[in-house]
Amino acid sequence: MSETAPTTVNRTLSLRRKTNAEYRPREYLTEGEVTKLLETARKRGRNGARDVAAILLAYRHGLRASELCQLRWSEVDLKHGRLHVNRLKGGIESVHPLRGPELRALRPLQGGASPYVFVTEQGTPVTPAWFLRMIQRTGEAAKLPFAIHPHMLRHAVGFKLANDGQDTRSIAHYLGHRNLQSTARYTALSPHRFKDFFKD
């Protein structure tokens, strides 16, 4: 019996991740797309009210998926319309006003035993993976023209505020950015920067 040495074949696997631009044309949603997402979530499944509230808060307050999932009722003041936002990734915490749409979306979720605002049917806190799946499925059901992810809601509010003419420093504080360079992307794409260029 002859001994043969094992042979090794080198194969190169393509592990290159596609660029964001190969997945979608931009990394934010427009106000119209967010509205469509909310309308679709309202009609989907048994947990439409919870899903609508999650999308609305993530969008209106620029919450990251993990910030949304960790949100506790002790940080929500429905009586005075305030939301204490604890930022992760070294962000600056702040207090945001809660407006009518958010208050109406949150009230039906009250009364559970959990200290967390967003919970599963079993009463456990939702996870960022849940939020990702919910956003992806809702985007597909809404027939949005490209695949979406939760962080696009955070970018959406940044662009919305810039398009509304809010100054960079205020947007930075609202989103919890310590560095204004993180916020500059929103004002850089705002069409208001150029509104006075021509006086036709």
Known catalytic residues?
Answer: 64, 89, 151, 154, 177, 186
Packing angle, helices 151-163 and 168-175, rounded to 10:
150
Q: Return d(Cα 88, Cα 66) in angstroms, integer.
A: 8
**Which is nearest to 192 in space by CA: 154, 149, 161, 170?**
161
| Token duo for residue 73 | 């009722």
**Is 57:68 a contact under the CB 8 Å cutoff?**
yes
DSSP 140: H
Contacts within 8 Å (CB) and 24+ apart, 31-34: 31/156, 31/160, 33/142, 33/144, 33/156, 34/59, 34/153, 34/156
**Tokens 């702040």, residue located:** 94
